[in-house]
Homo-oligomer: A and B are copies of this chain.
Amino acid sequence: MANHETQLDKELGALKKNLIHMAMVVEQMIDQAITQLINRNEEFTAELVREEQEINRLQIHIDELALTILATLQPVAADLRLILAATKINSDLERIGDLVVNITENVRVLVQQPPLKPLIDIPRMAELVRRMVRESVESFIAGDIDLARRVILTDDKVDALKDQVLRELLTYMTADHSTIERAMALVLISRHLERIGDHANNIAEDVIYAVCGQDVRHPLTQREGHEE
């Protein structure tokens, strides 16, 4: 029995380590995409392709690891919740990688034309969602519910920035329709960033569910007796 537990701890440690690695790659991808937008260059495509392949490799590896743990070590209770959360976080991180690729497609449109305006809100959004990704995974690793809750609170700021970006760019488009294509590309980038925030938010919710068995995903449908 003691042996079993040690083996389980070791495997759970490997699972966490892979998720941390995956989150780091994803964070770096977000950073690069926004740097590319700000510096107006198109040159890191090869690096992005390599990173995306790394993400895909990690996704498969993490799912296989989770399956192996479930099949061979038959964890229960808290460990079981943790493993299920790990597979969901795995999917979220992989999709964040896809979203960064979508962002770079819009960046490509933008760098071929003169800058529309100094970028303020979009880099701010990118910084917020990058931190959300990091902190959501950190909250999982540390089982830190408070950190997970902070991630969820940050999502409101991201949504507010997204609305602000849309309002401002609609003004640009209306005033001068030579700006329409670029403004649209910026709106779509802000939407991709918002989606990244949503994924980090989902990770944080899954962490709270995994750690304390409490479902914060749907307070309305929640069982009674929980204070929030």
A11 contacts the other chain (Cβ, under 8 Å)? no
Give A70 to B220 CA distance when docked, in angstroms: 27
Within 8 A of B (CB), among A169-200: 170, 173-174, 177, 180-181, 184, 187-188, 191, 195, 198
Q: How near does chain B come to A195, taking the closest CB pair, in angstroms?
A: 7
**A56 at the B interface (CB under 8 A):** yes
Contact A71 B67 (CB under 8 A): no
CB of A70 within 8 A of CB of B71, answer no
A111 in the interface (beta carbon within 8 A): no
Residues 122 to 145 of chain A near chain B (Cβ within 8 Å): none
Copy number in the complex reads 2
Question: With A and B bound together, what is the CA distance between A221 and B166 in angstroms?
Answer: 37
**Nearest-CB residue, chain B, relative to A61:** B221
Minimum CB distance partner of A222 in chain B: B60
Does A149 count as interface, using CB distance less than 8 angstroms?
no
Tell whether, in the assembled complex, residue A56 and residue B218 are in contact, meaning their CB atoms are under 8 Å apart: yes
The answer on a CB contact under 8 Å between A80 and B84 is no
Q: Report how far A76 CA is from B74 CA in the complex, Å.
A: 9
A184's closest neighbor in chain B, by CB? B170
A66 within 8 A of B: yes
Would you call A104 an interface residue if the criterion is a C-beta within 8 Å of the partner chain's C-beta atoms? no
Known contacts A60-B218, A166-B184, A195-B195, A66 near B84 by CB under 8 Å: yes
Residue of B nearest to A92 (CB): B91
Do residues B59 and A217 form an inter-chain contact, with CB atoms below 8 A? Answer: yes
A4 close to chain B: CB less than 8 A: no
| Chain B residues whose CB sits within 8 angstroms of the CB of A53 once the complex forms | 218, 220-221
19 more CB-based (< 8 A) A-B contacts, given A60-B221, A170-B184, A180-B180: A53-B218, A56-B217, A59-B217, A60-B215, A66-B84, A67-B80, A67-B81, A70-B70, A84-B87, A88-B88, A95-B202, A166-B184, A173-B180, A174-B177, A177-B177, A184-B187, A188-B191, A191-B191, A195-B195
* Residue ranges of A at the interface with B (Cβ–Cβ < 8 Å): 53, 56-57, 59-60, 63, 66-67, 70-71, 74, 76-77, 80-81, 84, 87-88, 91, 94-95, 166, 170, 173-174, 177, 180-181, 184, 187-188, 191, 195, 198, 202, 209, 215, 217-218, 220-221
